[in-house]
Chains A and B, each alone.
Chain A
Amino acid sequence: MQNRFGLKDVFVVVLLLATLASVWLSMVQKTRIELAVDGLRVKLGEMERQAALFQREVEKGLAGGVVVQQGGGGIAVSNDAWARPGVAIQRWPNPAPATNPEGQPGFSVGGEFTEIFEAQPAKLVPYIQSDVYGTRVLDRVCEGLGSFDPKTLKMVGVLADAWQIDPDGLWIRAHINPRARFSDGAPVTAEDVRWTNLDFIANPLIEAERSRSTQDNLKDVKVIDERTVEFLFKEPFFTNVLIAFGNPVLPKHWYSKFEPSQLNQATGLLMGSGQFKLERLPTGPEDLSVQWTPGTDVVLVRNEQYWAAKPSLERIRYKTVSDELARLVAFRNGEGDLITPSSPQFNKVTREEPGFEEKAFALKWVNMRCGYSFIAWQCGPRAGKDLTPFADVRVRRAMTHLLDRERMITDIWDGIGIVSKGPMNPESPASDPATKPYAYDPDKGKALLAEAGWQDRNGDGILEDASGKKFTFEYTYASGGEIAERLARFVKDSYAKAGIDVVTRPVEWSRYQEILKLRDFDAITLAWGANAPESDPRQIYHSESMKEGGDNFVQWKNADADALIEKGRRTMDESERMLVWRQLEQVIAADQPYTFVRVSPWLRFVSRKFGNVNTYRTGLQPEEFYRVALPAPGSE
Chain B
Amino acid sequence: MATYLLRRLLLMIPTVLGITLMVFLLVALAPGGIGAGLAVQGGQMSDTSKVAQMQAYLEDRYGLNDNVFVQYARWLGRVSPLKFGTTPLVAPTGDLVREPRDLPEPVMTWAFPAPAAFVVQYTVPSGDALIEDFKRLQREAEGTRRTYVGSVRGMKDALADHVRALGAPWTARLEPKGGADPERFRDLSLDGDAPTLVKLRSAAAAMHASWTEAEASRQRATIAFLARPYPAAGFEIIPNAFSLGAPDFGVAFSRNRPVWDLIATALPVTILINFIAFPIIYLVAVPTGVLASVRRGGAFDVISGLMFLLLYSVPVVLTGVFAIGFLANNQYLGWFPVSGLHDSAAATMTFMPYTDVAGTWHRGWLLDMVWHLALPVLCLVYAGFAVLSKQTRAAMLENFSSDYVRTARAKGVPSRDVIISHVLRNSLLPLITMFVGIFPAMLGGSVVVERIFTIPGMGSLVIEAINLRDRELILANTFMISSVSLLALLLADILYALCDPRVAYD
Q: Given the known A-B contacts A514-B31, A520-B176, are A209 and B324 also in contact in the complex, defined by CB atoms under 8 Å?
A: no
Nearest Cβ distance between residue B360 and chain A, in whole angstroms? 13
- On whether the beta carbons of A265 and B178 are closer than 8 Å, the reply is no
Q: Which among B8-16, B249-257, B474-482 touches the partner chain?
A: B249-257
Complex contacts, B156 vs chain A, CB 8 Å:
548
Residue A262 at the chain B interface, CB threshold 8 Å:
yes
Interface readout for A502-517 with B: 1 if CB under 8 Å, 0 if not?
Answer: 0000011111111001
A135-153 residues with Cβ-Cβ distance < 8 A to B are: none
Residue B329 at the chain A interface, CB threshold 8 Å:
yes
Q: Which among A84-92, A468-476, A521-529 touches the partner chain?
A: A521-529
Interface readout for A379-397 with B: 1 if CB under 8 Å, 0 if not?
Answer: 0000110000000000000
- On whether the beta carbons of A514 and B36 are closer than 8 Å, the reply is yes
Complex contacts, A81 vs chain B, CB 8 Å:
none
Complex: A381 Cα to B483 Cα, angstroms: 50
- On whether the beta carbons of A547 and B93 are closer than 8 Å, the reply is no
Q: Given the known A-B contacts A35-B354, A332-B329, A510-B37, are A535 and B44 also in contact in the complex, defined by CB atoms under 8 Å?
A: no
- On whether the beta carbons of A326 and B47 are closer than 8 Å, the reply is no
Residue B487 at the chain A interface, CB threshold 8 Å:
no
Contact residue among A334, A371, A529, A548 (Cβ-Cβ distance under 8 Å from B177): A548
Residue B456 at the chain A interface, CB threshold 8 Å:
yes
Complex contacts, B328 vs chain A, CB 8 Å:
326, 329, 333
- On whether the beta carbons of A510 and B454 are closer than 8 Å, the reply is no
Question: Considering only CB atoms, which chain B residue lies closest to A119 in the complex?
Answer: B42
Question: Considering only CB atoms, which chain B residue lies closest to A334 in the complex?
Answer: B330
Nearest Cβ distance between residue A335 and chain B, in whole angstroms? 6
Residue B245 at the chain A interface, CB threshold 8 Å:
no
Complex: A262 Cα to B92 Cα, angstroms: 11
Residue A628 at the chain B interface, CB threshold 8 Å:
no
Complex: A319 Cα to B324 Cα, angstroms: 17
Interface readout for B144-182 with A: 1 if CB under 8 Å, 0 if not?
Answer: 011000000100110011000000000000111111000
Question: Considering only CB atoms, which chain A residue lies closest to B153 in the complex?
Answer: A549
Number of A-B contacts (CB under 8 A): 217
B19-69 residues with Cβ-Cβ distance < 8 A to A are: 30-33, 36-37, 39-54, 57-58
Complex: A329 Cα to B452 Cα, angstroms: 12
Complex contacts, B93 vs chain A, CB 8 Å:
259, 261-262, 285
A1-49 residues with Cβ-Cβ distance < 8 A to B are: 27-28, 30-31, 34-35, 38, 41
Interface readout for A321-345 with B: 1 if CB under 8 Å, 0 if not?
Answer: 1110110011011110000000000
Complex: A38 Cα to B331 Cα, angstroms: 33
Question: Considering only CB atoms, which chain A residue lies closest to B55 in the complex?
Answer: A513
- On whether the beta carbons of A295 and B453 are closer than 8 Å, the reply is no
Complex contacts, A285 vs chain B, CB 8 Å:
93
- On whether the beta carbons of B41 and A326 are closer than 8 Å, the reply is no
Nearest Cβ distance between residue A565 and chain B, in whole angstroms? 13
Complex: A31 Cα to B51 Cα, angstroms: 53
Contact residue among B142, B157, B256, B351 (Cβ-Cβ distance under 8 Å from A547): B157
Complex: A551 Cα to B54 Cα, angstroms: 14
- On whether the beta carbons of A509 and B43 are closer than 8 Å, the reply is yes
Interface readout for B326-351 with A: 1 if CB under 8 Å, 0 if not?
Answer: 00111100100111100010001111
Residue A213 at the chain B interface, CB threshold 8 Å:
yes
- On whether the beta carbons of B265 and A510 are closer than 8 Å, the reply is no
Residue A519 at the chain B interface, CB threshold 8 Å:
yes
- On whether the beta carbons of A528 and B456 are closer than 8 Å, the reply is no
Q: Given the known A-B contacts A319-B340, A547-B157, are A122 and B254 also in contact in the complex, defined by CB atoms under 8 Å?
A: yes
- On whether the beta carbons of B337 and A265 are closer than 8 Å, the reply is no
Interface readout for A254-275 with B: 1 if CB under 8 Å, 0 if not?
Answer: 0000011110110100000000
Complex contacts, A550 vs chain B, CB 8 Å:
52
Q: Given the known A-B contacts A27-B352, A333-B334, are A326 and B91 also in contact in the complex, defined by CB atoms under 8 Å?
A: no
- On whether the beta carbons of A204 and B145 are closer than 8 Å, the reply is yes
Nearest Cβ distance between residue B223 and chain A, in whole angstroms? 18
Interface readout for B464-482 with A: 1 if CB under 8 Å, 0 if not?
Answer: 0001110000000000000
Nearest Cβ distance between residue B297 and chain A, in whole angstroms? 34
- On whether the beta carbons of A265 and B41 are closer than 8 Å, the reply is no
- On whether the beta carbons of B139 and A203 are closer than 8 Å, the reply is yes
Residue A614 at the chain B interface, CB threshold 8 Å:
no
Interface readout for A528-539 with B: 1 if CB under 8 Å, 0 if not?
Answer: 110100011001
Residue A574 at the chain B interface, CB threshold 8 Å:
no
Complex contacts, B266 vs chain A, CB 8 Å:
295
Q: Given the known A-B contacts A267-B257, A333-B329, A514-B33, are A130 and B41 also in contact in the complex, defined by CB atoms under 8 Å?
A: yes
Complex: A261 Cα to B266 Cα, angstroms: 22
Residue A114 at the chain B interface, CB threshold 8 Å:
yes
Complex contacts, B364 vs chain A, CB 8 Å:
31
Complex: A245 Cα to B145 Cα, angstroms: 29
- On whether the beta carbons of B456 and A319 are closer than 8 Å, the reply is no
Residue B210 at the chain A interface, CB threshold 8 Å:
no
- On whether the beta carbons of B44 and A549 are closer than 8 Å, the reply is no
Nearest Cβ distance between residue B198 and chain A, in whole angstroms? 18
Complex: A131 Cα to B255 Cα, angstroms: 10
Question: Considering only CB atoms, which chain A residue lies closest to B261 in the complex?
Answer: A265
Complex: A546 Cα to B179 Cα, angstroms: 10
Contact residue among B41, B47, B179, B467 (Cβ-Cβ distance under 8 Å from A131): B41
Complex contacts, B354 vs chain A, CB 8 Å:
31, 35
Complex: A330 Cα to B349 Cα, angstroms: 21
Residue A492 at the chain B interface, CB threshold 8 Å:
no
Residue B81 at the chain A interface, CB threshold 8 Å:
no
Residue B491 at the chain A interface, CB threshold 8 Å:
no
Nearest Cβ distance between residue B249 and chain A, in whole angstroms? 13
Complex contacts, A535 vs chain B, CB 8 Å:
47-48
- On whether the beta carbons of A207 and B256 are closer than 8 Å, the reply is yes
- On whether the beta carbons of A210 and B91 are closer than 8 Å, the reply is no
Complex contacts, B54 vs chain A, CB 8 Å:
209-210, 213
- On whether the beta carbons of A31 and B352 are closer than 8 Å, the reply is yes
Complex: A322 Cα to B460 Cα, angstroms: 10
Q: Given the known A-B contacts A28-B352, A535-B48, A539-B47, are A517 and B177 also in contact in the complex, defined by CB atoms under 8 Å?
A: yes
Residue B258 at the chain A interface, CB threshold 8 Å:
yes
- On whether the beta carbons of B330 and A333 are closer than 8 Å, the reply is yes
Residue B325 at the chain A interface, CB threshold 8 Å:
yes
Complex contacts, B469 vs chain A, CB 8 Å:
510
Question: Considering only CB atoms, which chain B residue lies closest to A261 in the complex?
Answer: B95
- On whether the beta carbons of A35 and B33 are closer than 8 Å, the reply is no
Contact residue among B45, B176, B453 (Cβ-Cβ distance under 8 Å from A326): B453
Residue A584 at the chain B interface, CB threshold 8 Å:
no
Complex: A41 Cα to B37 Cα, angstroms: 45
- On whether the beta carbons of B256 and A123 are closer than 8 Å, the reply is yes
Nearest Cβ distance between residue A352 and chain B, in whole angstroms? 13
Most buried by A among B138, B265, B339: B339
- On whether the beta carbons of B337 and A214 are closer than 8 Å, the reply is no
Nearest Cβ distance between residue A385 and chain B, in whole angstroms? 8
- On whether the beta carbons of A511 and B340 are closer than 8 Å, the reply is no
Nearest Cβ distance between residue B196 and chain A, in whole angstroms? 13
- On whether the beta carbons of A384 and B174 are closer than 8 Å, the reply is yes
- On whether the beta carbons of B52 and A529 are closer than 8 Å, the reply is no
Nearest Cβ distance between residue A93 and chain B, in whole angstroms? 31
Contact residue among A34, A120, A320, A326 (Cβ-Cβ distance under 8 Å from B350): A34
Complex: A503 Cα to B469 Cα, angstroms: 29
B350-364 residues with Cβ-Cβ distance < 8 A to A are: 350-352, 354, 364
Residue B418 at the chain A interface, CB threshold 8 Å:
no
Complex contacts, A511 vs chain B, CB 8 Å:
31-32, 36
- On whether the beta carbons of A325 and B265 are closer than 8 Å, the reply is no
- On whether the beta carbons of A264 and B256 are closer than 8 Å, the reply is yes
Complex: A294 Cα to B258 Cα, angstroms: 13
Closest 10 CB pairs of A and B: A204-B142, A549-B52, A295-B456, A548-B179, A384-B176, A34-B350, A330-B338, A122-B255, A510-B32, A213-B53
19 residue pairs of the A-B complex, CB under 8 angstroms, read: A31-B352, A31-B364, A123-B257, A132-B42, A204-B146, A293-B265, A295-B266, A320-B339, A322-B451, A323-B454, A326-B328, A510-B469, A513-B40, A514-B31, A514-B33, A528-B47, A529-B44, A529-B45, A540-B47
In the complex, besides A128-B256, A329-B330, A384-B175, 8 extra interface pairs with C-beta distance below 8 angstroms are: A259-B95, A261-B91, A297-B344, A321-B454, A335-B337, A509-B40, A527-B44, A528-B47
